[in-house]
Amino acid sequence: MVKFKRTVLACVLLIAPSLAQGPATFHPGFNLFSRQQDIQLGQESAAQVRRQMQVVRDPFLSDYVSRVGRRLANTPEARASGFPFTFEVVADRSINAFALPGGPMFINTGLLKAVDNEAELAGVMGHEMSHVILRHGTNQASKAQAIQLPLMLGSRIAGGSMLGRLGQLGIGLGANSVLLKFSRTAESQADLMGSHLMAESGYNPMAMARFFEKLSSQGGSRGLQFLSDHPNPGNRERAIEEEADKLPRRNYGYETGEFERMKRVVGGIHEPPPRTQAGG
């Protein structure tokens, strides 16, 4: 009997590591907002972004980022979230992109100029999409105002404006907003889920690791804004590489075929002088 138990224990110990080596799974954390409130907040915030930033009205660029975005949004995790993702280009020279609760995403021309291939762009967009899927923005707002928020969310004051209600609690869309400044834990989760979205879309997730590594090594003005808004959770590139190794083997190499044209078009856009950005 003792020998049998030891044999079973040995089998369990052999099996356990293999089970632990599967791809990471994440679930949205504590949140006082409903999913519909995430969507409402995102739509109101997007309207504010469009007033504050210069949206690029080029049909080709709009279609290009939307094609990449829709490819990512068609993955199982993204579809299961139920969020209506949208994608717009803004004329801003900083290497950055940001996504608002509920799905609106804005991609800076500076980012489009900085990426060396479409997979790198998909990596940043997949990272931002993961923040939305995991509801990191409203999760942080919920933790910051756990006492006052329930009453405020249920209130009918401020004309039904979600931003108006949150503004009374000091939660806005400006610099250092809890809706857009994420913890290192949240960044790590977005990195790993983003690698899943990339792989399922046909993009090599290693491109995300290489792009982050490139920004980190270049430092200075090129990577400053992105790295400030997306703090390194530690061993970022290695963590993405290890997660990519756990994913089912796929044939990577998907391309829209429009990357080089995108680079030519965005290269002709002159951004306005630097200003405080609405998100990060």
Whether 9 shows a pLDDT value over 50: the answer reads: no
Query: What local confidence, expressed as pLDDT, does residue 6 receive?
Result: 42
Give the CA-trace dihedral at 130, 135, 137, 138, to 10 degrees.
Answer: 170
Query: What local confidence, expressed as pLDDT, does residue 275 receive?
Result: 62
CB 93 within 8 A of CB 108: yes
Whether 167 shows a pLDDT value over 60: the answer reads: yes
3-state SS assignment for residue 256: coil
Whether 247 shows a pLDDT value over 60: the answer reads: yes
Question: Which one is predicted more confidently, 212 or 10?
Answer: 212
Query: What local confidence, expressed as pLDDT, does residue 12 receive?
Result: 35
Q: Among residues 207, 208, 257, 258, which one has the least CA distance to residue 61? A: 258
Q: How far is CA 185 from CA 94, 154, 223, in A?
A: 24, 29, 20
Residues 6+ apart with CB under 8 A from 234: 184, 188
Which residues are paired to 88 by β-bridges?
A: 106
Strand order across the 97-99 sheet = 86-90, 104-108, 97-99
Which residue blocks in the chain are alpha helix, DSSP H?
Answer: 2-20, 35-52, 59-73, 76-81, 109-114, 118-133, 136-144, 149-153, 162-167, 184-201, 206-218, 220-229, 236-246, 259-267
Residue 5 token pair: 């138990």
Report d(CA 236, CA 233) in Å as an integer: 6
Question: Which one is predicted more confidently, 267 or 15?
Answer: 267
Residue 221 token pair: 């003005």
Q: Convert the pLDDT of each residue in 120-162 to its tens digit.
A: 999 999 999 999 999 999 998 888 766 677 767 766 544 568 7
Q: Convert the pLDDT of each residue in 24-58 to its tens digit.
A: 888 888 888 899 999 999 999 999 999 999 999 99
